[in-house]
Chain A
Amino acid sequence: MSDAALSVHGLWKVFGPKAGSIIGTPDADLPRPELLARTGCVAAVKDVSFDVAPGEVFVVMGLSGSGKSTLVRCLTRLIEPSAGSIEIDGDDVVTMSDSRLRELRRTHVSMVFQHFGLLPHRQVIDNVAYGLEVRGEPKSKRLARSQEMVDLVGLSGNEHSYPDQLSGGMQQRVGLARALAADPSVMLFDEPFSALDPLIRRDMQNEVIRLHDEVGKSMVFVTHDLAEALKLGDRILIMRDGAVVQVGTPAEVVARPADDYVRDFVSDVPRSHVLTLRYVMREPGPDDSTEGPVMSSDTVVRQAARAALASEHVVRVVDDGELVGIVDDDAILRVVVAEEEATPA
């Protein structure tokens, strides 16, 4: 796929002494503990493939230890992948020389980290400017650009503070500004908000949504928090023990979990917030009323509920002028009531 911003194919990362000799053998399919016992290796990422479209927010989700951090670090070879191909804006990352790779990191891809990774001896503004500094931008230009970024993430007035004078949320805003400063086409996030308090985390998620609307970057966003994944992701990739379990839109993942692992994950999601009518509608029958409200199939159930329940008639689901399904009150109530029961009082 040449029109993807980022394209990953058959990516492997094996940690350990004989990492190279495992891929392609039956050993590679062993569960992690057995592989470790037999070879002393850990297959952190196993045969992962996906594409990210320009402007898409692509979320990678999984339990701790499932290989998310390793995967996202392989994308710019902060960790050297063991096998597979990675293309960013059409360039092959795996075979790049060191200097091309530095160039890629300086201009095309930037990353936001869970533990911020700020330089404690530099003021906020100089932290934000660091990426521009290493690529040799003149001082006046990089300071002007950094000031813009500081304003963009809402840190105006804190330019001359030092990182340890800021709260965790503000430090991560610095991390965001630093990543944005280089004006990359792809941004990578490794659990950027996991270390923050829940309230601040929500602010920061909204901040990312706002920035995405404003700057429209392609993003790969790693999280172990399903709510965060559903909130931010256009699509979600679910990992388990290094391998891909499922890739799909939030609604797909919630409505049709690929296996028990995913089902467990999504079991206490507020389904009405995620499910769209496509996943609750039934085939239209000859007896169905034609007077009810008309909605498209990607309307979220919660939005449809009020109008649907208020009307005496069933909802007709119409895509591109064509009737594709019917949603009756029962279908809506099943989603909403199941959720009430699942939520403890």
Chain B
Amino acid sequence: MTTVAVRDSGVPTSGVLAALRRRGKLWLLALTVLAWVAVWAATRGTSTQEIGGATLTDAHQWFRGRAAWVEDAASAGTNPVFGLANGIADLLNGLIAFLQRLFTVPEFPRPYPEIGWLGVIAMAAWVTYAVAGWRSVLLVVPSFLAFGFLGYWEDSLDLLIITLVSVFIAVVIGIPLGVAMAHSKIVSAILTPVLDVMQTMPSFIYLLPLTIVFGIGSAAATIVTLIYALPPVVRITAHGIRSVSPSTLEATRSLGQSGWQRLRNVELPMSKRTVIVGINQTMMAALSMATIAAFIDSPGLGQPVLEGLRRGQLGASAVAGLAIVIMAIMLDRTTTAASIRAERAARAGRDDRRRRRLVLTGTGVLTLAAIGVSHNQVWANPFPSSPDLGSPIAAGVDRFADWLRTDLSGLTTAIQEAFTVWFLNPVQDLVANSPWFVTAAALLAVAAIAGGRRALASTAVCLAGIYFLDLWYNAMVTLTSVFTATAVTMVVGVALGVWMGRSGLADRAIRPVLDAAQTIPPFVYLVPILILFGPNRFTAIVAGVIYAVPPATKLIADGIRGVAPATVEAAESAGTSRLQMITKVQIPMARGALLVAGNQGLLYVLSMVVIGGMVGAGALGFDIVTGFRQTSMIGRGLAAGVAIVLLGIMLDRITTHAANQSASTNPTTATHRRRRPLTGGIA
């Protein structure tokens, strides 16, 4: 308590100055918006750069030309880069086709795949027992049965094949990369921004360019999944290796171990558990991306979801979505159990180990027998078609949706219309219907005030790019969705986050829900939201909010919890009320966390709003989806992808610089920034 008092009274001038500067900034931002509204009122609807849905400009044709050139080069096989890409694509397509022949696709003259349901389930159970223990088997076997009874046996296995192949490659590449990052500052400096880009770029964006290089289908699906899923295992491996106790490293070094001995005997065993956590994250990312890869004809459960969305058969989409959720839970729980088991297994006594080997051999023989039976016996091969749980669920969902639309449409429509009329439309009118240069000037002013010169420069470059892509109007419509969804996300995130930060009970109750929400592939959310609200902008915004609330809330809760207890105590002893405590102490002091949450919220929302483009949100997302569907529109689709990347960079730069600026004017958040350690020393 005393230290706080000293700090507050010790540097009064700088504190007041910072507060003034902050206040001044808010006034300036308000003035900017006022001026914008005034100019908008006078010029509204002119120079908006709006183009028709099927219009193709020179810029789009240029992209189309590039795409055609790449496709030609790839098919001619003369260019070594595309030759390599072709080779990789063939290899992956071959591998996945082979796995599909084993499990899901019959090869003439056999009427059934090589291994039927009995063999698959036996294998899954055996592998689960080996890596995660028998408890997880009790989850895995019912999950596989559910895939079958829901009517999506083959699609589930296909999704699993794409996911696991990608995860396998990600782990084989990712662990050595993570180790290299932990050992070398140079490698780390090179890889960190690459990983940042891989993670912040909306996943939807690189689908289209990759299909041009790799074609559509399994290979491209595996590669997009790999790109999206690689960063977590690299980062978390690097983190695990870096956090190996320095005293153990030093002590073992003093015994004269070589670099290789250090890695093998000290670093890898001591970070094993962390690395498995990384694999878990990679697995969940892979599953969510492999689902979305249905857009580029990836086999798997994404297909029936997408098909249902396209045809308006939401019941079928919902059943397939349910199977995806079951798979997500199964993979998440199993890898988590595997990380815990890794610890215990290392400590098992010699007897335990011998018994385990016996059990594994015995069950292994049984598994082989089951595989053999499922190869030869029809009853054990195609998954039985009854009982059929999928059709009644689908029918039930469809009935429910009808009922919603007829009997309850009043409520959902009311919510949706109120939001659209009172919030979404005015914002969109301002952002997209102002002349382009007015909106640009306003955005530049906001960037300069909030983020300073560097944010201004990035924003200028990004806006110029969007302008020259001839997609200004659509980009502004997308930006509107992003703004509104982020605003809602922050309101919800602050409310939940403050509550969780202040109450341990609330935290324990809410956090598991947020964790669960984050393991579900976002594509799956769209289905229930569509059922509730139908295809439109609002649905995409709701999906964005649902996707972004969990990470934003957790960041805010951690920020509130991180406010020094001494400060809270001091404020309490000064007679602060609860509301004052929240608004005057906890939120201001957690401002750094709030800004980071806003930054993350924007990026999450952006990637989801784009996916929402295909369910009626229009704008850039729709341009991309059209690019997949119609070869003539591929140029515009590619341009839209670039425009989204530019939007993402712009929003990221503005919020990051704003966060840094606030950190440098605010002593309490300054500690969030990284400190550079002194060089040299105990290496």
Interface residues of A (CB under 8 A from B): 15-17, 19, 42, 73, 76, 78-79, 101-107, 110-111, 113-121, 130-131, 133-135, 162, 175, 178, 182
Contact = CB atoms under 8 A, between A and B. Distances in A.
A103 B258 CA distance: 10
B259 to A, nearest CB: 10
A162 B255 contact: no
B247 interface: yes
A55 B681 CA distance: 30
Contacts of B247: 113-117
Contact of B265 (A17, A102, A106, A130): A130
A117 B251 contact: yes
A102 B254 CA distance: 8
B454 interface: no
Nearest to A113: B251
A215 B346 CA distance: 35
Contacts of A15: 678-681
A178 B251 CA distance: 10
B256 A134 contact: yes
A104 B680 contact: no
A79 B682 contact: yes
A101 B265 CA distance: 20
Name, among B256, B270, B678, the residue most crowded by chain A CB atoms within 10 Å (CB to CB): B256
Contacts of A131: 255-256
A102 B258 CA distance: 8
Contacts of B680: 15-16, 19
Interface string B220-253: 0000000000000000000000000101111111
Contact of B682 (A73, A105, A162): A73
B678 to A, nearest CB: 6
A243 B272 CA distance: 43
Contact of B255 (A101, A120, A182): A182
Name, among B249, B255, B266, B682, the residue most crowded by chain A CB atoms within 10 Å (CB to CB): B255
A78 B252 contact: no
A111 B254 contact: yes
25 contacts: A15-B678, A16-B678, A78-B682, A102-B257, A105-B256, A106-B255, A110-B255, A113-B247, A113-B250, A113-B251, A115-B245, A115-B247, A116-B251, A117-B245, A117-B248, A117-B251, A118-B251, A119-B266, A120-B248, A121-B346, A131-B255, A134-B257, A162-B347, A175-B251, A178-B255
**5 tightest A-B CB contacts, nearest first:** A117-B251, A105-B256, A106-B256, A131-B255, A115-B247
Given A116-B251, A120-B270, A175-B251, 17 more contacts: A17-B679, A79-B681, A79-B682, A102-B257, A104-B256, A110-B255, A113-B254, A115-B247, A116-B247, A118-B248, A119-B248, A119-B252, A133-B265, A134-B252, A134-B256, A134-B257, A135-B256
Contacts of A135: 256
B217 interface: no
Contacts, number: 84
Contacts of A79: 681-682
B248 A121 contact: no
B253 A78 contact: yes
Contacts of A133: 265
A130 B254 contact: no
Contacts of B269: 119, 121
Interface in B630-683: 678-682
A78 B255 contact: no
Interface of B: 245, 247-258, 261, 265-266, 269-270, 272, 346-347, 678-682
B679 A110 contact: no
A175 B251 CA distance: 9
Contact of A78 (B250, B258, B272, B346): B250
Contacts of A110: 254-255
Contacts of B256: 101-107, 131, 134-135
A113 to B, nearest CB: 5
Contacts of A16: 678-680
A73 B682 CA distance: 9
Contacts of A19: 680
Contacts of B347: 162
A73 B678 CA distance: 18
A93 to B, nearest CB: 13
A119 B265 contact: yes
Contacts of B252: 117, 119, 130, 134
Nearest to B266: A119
Contacts of A134: 252, 255-258, 261, 265
A118 B251 CA distance: 8
A225 to B, nearest CB: 20
Given A102-B258, A135-B256, A117 B678 contact: no
B102 to A, nearest CB: 37
A334 to B, nearest CB: 46
A121 B682 contact: no
A78 B681 CA distance: 9
B550 to A, nearest CB: 33
A120 B244 CA distance: 11
Contact of A119 (B254, B270, B679, B681): B270
A105 B251 contact: no
Contacts of B266: 119
Contacts of A42: 678
Contacts of A182: 255
A102 B265 CA distance: 16
Contacts of B270: 119-121
B681 A130 contact: no
A106 B681 CA distance: 22
Contacts of A119: 248, 252, 265-266, 269-270
Contacts of A130: 252, 255, 265
Name, among B269, B681, B682, the residue most crowded by chain A CB atoms within 10 Å (CB to CB): B681
Nearest to B245: A117
A78 B679 CA distance: 15
A121 B261 CA distance: 15
